[in-house]
Structure 1
């Protein structure tokens, strides 16, 4: 095989920046599909609609992808399914068609349609449905925190790096009964709690954004979402630590354990509003979305505002 033929196969290439804007069209379509079901009282319909939209639009993306982390209990976008046009870079995907439960009676914030893409074999094989403890921080804080240390010590370390008082540190915590003691511990340490009502993916990524009101994310959540968040944070200069129970022992994994390789992409579109993105909005004759697109090489961050015609049928 000649050098030109080898390069054309994409056999040694992972995802590149040109793929990112193709993927954002996929998350936009999924978010719009999910958004049509928000507040309508039919639990699960939004995720189903988003999954089908994501699956359909992925078919035209120029890549040879494999779903490494996908939707559980569905006939499409399952772990091991091929994704993409069948030509272009070889890569693995971790995706969610609607992180966070869409409430049957209202618009629950923090719901995203998201895709992380990395080189083949670069994504951690997260156990389906597993919960892990998480600690996510922004740039400069990864080296001073340790998920195995007492909460107060980590919060004081974060405050020192940010040059703020610990009373000004804001901690994002998923609003679940299992986090009651965690919330008390954070407040006892002198920090403030910001409860996340939907999923924790948006909160985990928001800690690395300059305009975010969240300094750190703590608590337990899905292992699959941890891998997706790690992909975004690795591009944004943040850090994620998770503690997972394997073979009867606790094991700590870091960002580089969850997502390896040099070529990493992350795209997400807001379904409902969050600390990271606005949700889908319907106006007279048009639909608007807000997305974030990040890549590791070159290190770029784009906020994409899209508007499209909305036809009444």
Structure 2
């Protein structure tokens, strides 16, 4: 993939973030998501790729745009897989809470896992723990290993997990161990990525969340030299058939980074909608301007860029 695509896809996440942020705190998550999705789809028309959406807003009959299988880009340039989440954390935007993002990952055609829309058990960590942990281990053993390799006391380990009833047993074990817990109301992708940023203070991300979000987080962690291990959680025979239709013969096996994002080049971009651990949120300024902060990463070069942009909103609104 051409390196210029890094900046091209940031323009897409920026417009999605600007569109969604206008709904922040208004209690209308569907409107926030719809605005971001529409803006993202329009901006894709200017990106020089032959793109196919492999992770998006749903199947063709479920989503009017950015549906799985939709072609995006202006038809010039390389063939790529595209994974999108126009608003990662719609509830966060609706309630004016932190950590909402507009997210895109692209990779060469055939590299990104076509993850079915179901839960995935996950274990995410930063570079210092890469290759040292296993999703097969009991949670208490994972914590013990993490503390050992990070040279920390167990009580100084910080674990991030979604605040869900299904995680009650995980949380009980973590509390018994005495680790520090960061409960997330939403923000599955941001929660996993935070493990690769020392300033976030998060050492591990555990628990289950959406499988598509797992692939997006894996793309980011691949660029950051971190790791995400995942295992799909099909509920019934219909879920098993969906996995097999997407080429996943054994849905119960551990999915490693190479299974989710391949072993070639990946570009990941995220723009903050609301403030988070590694990018700030959209700020609306006087004189019809707005400010965004984005992060864009490329696996091939291990380059990480932070981009702060000032936008003249009248020129953006016509594109939303």
Q: Normalising by structure 2, what TM-score?
A: 0.89
Residue in 2 that maps onto 1:81: 70
How many residue pairs match? The answer is 298
User: Unaligned regions of 5+ residues in structure 2, if any?
Assistant: 235-239, 241-249
Return the match for 1:117 from 97, 102, 106: 106
CA contact (8 A) 1:110 1:200 kept: no
Please state how far the C-alpha of 1:261 moved relative to its aligned partner: 3.4
Structure 1 runs of 4+ off > 6 angstroms? none
CA contact (8 A) 2:199 2:277 kept: no
User: Unaligned regions of 5+ residues in structure 1, if any?
Assistant: 1-14
Question: Alignment partner of 1:185: what SS?
Answer: helix
Question: Alignment partner of 1:207: what SS?
Answer: helix
Question: Alignment partner of 1:135: what SS?
Answer: strand
Residue in 2 that maps onto 1:280: 282
Relative to its length, the structure with more helix (as a share) is 2
The answer to whether residue 127 in structure 2 is matched with residue 139 in structure 1 is yes
Residue in 2 that maps onto 1:100: 89
Return the match for 1:256 from 237, 255, 258: 258
Q: Distance in 2 between matches of 1:146 and 1:103?
A: 31
Q: Distance in 2 between matches of 1:104 and 1:98?
A: 8
Please state how far the C-alpha of 1:308 moved relative to its aligned partner: 1.5
CA contact (8 A) 1:69 1:95 kept: yes
- Counterparts in 2 of 1:1-313, with a 5 A limit? 15-72=1-58, 73-103=62-92, 106-128=95-117, 130-245=118-233, 247=240, 250-285=252-287, 286-311=289-314
Please state how far the C-alpha of 1:275 moved relative to its aligned partner: 2.0
Q: Normalising by structure 1, what TM-score?
A: 0.91
Question: Alignment partner of 1:203: what SS?
Answer: helix
CA contact (8 A) 1:290 1:305 kept: yes
Please state how far the C-alpha of 1:104 moved relative to its aligned partner: 7.7
Q: Distance in 2 between matches of 1:178 and 1:108?
A: 22
Q: Distance in 2 between matches of 1:56 and 1:105?
A: 23
CA contact (8 A) 2:124 2:206 kept: yes
Q: Distance in 1 between matches of 2:275 and 2:91?
A: 12
- 1:158-200 CA-partner distances (Å, limit 9, x unpaired): 1122111111111111122222221111121221100112221
Question: Alignment partner of 1:250: what SS?
Answer: coil
Question: Alignment partner of 1:274: what SS?
Answer: coil
Question: Alignment partner of 1:113: what SS?
Answer: strand
Q: Distance in 1 between matches of 2:293 and 2:92?
A: 21
Question: Alignment partner of 2:311: what SS?
Answer: strand
Q: What is the aligned-residue RMSD (CA, Å)?
A: 1.8
Q: Distance in 1 between matches of 2:69 and 2:133?
A: 35
- 1:189-248 CA-partner distances (Å, limit 9, x unpaired): 221100112221111111112322111101110000000111111110000011214649
Q: Distance in 1 between matches of 2:105 and 2:66?
A: 13
Please state how far the C-alpha of 1:92 moved relative to its aligned partner: 0.5
Q: Distance in 1 between matches of 2:127 and 2:80?
A: 27
Q: Distance in 1 between matches of 2:29 and 2:223?
A: 33
Please state how far the C-alpha of 1:311 moved relative to its aligned partner: 4.6
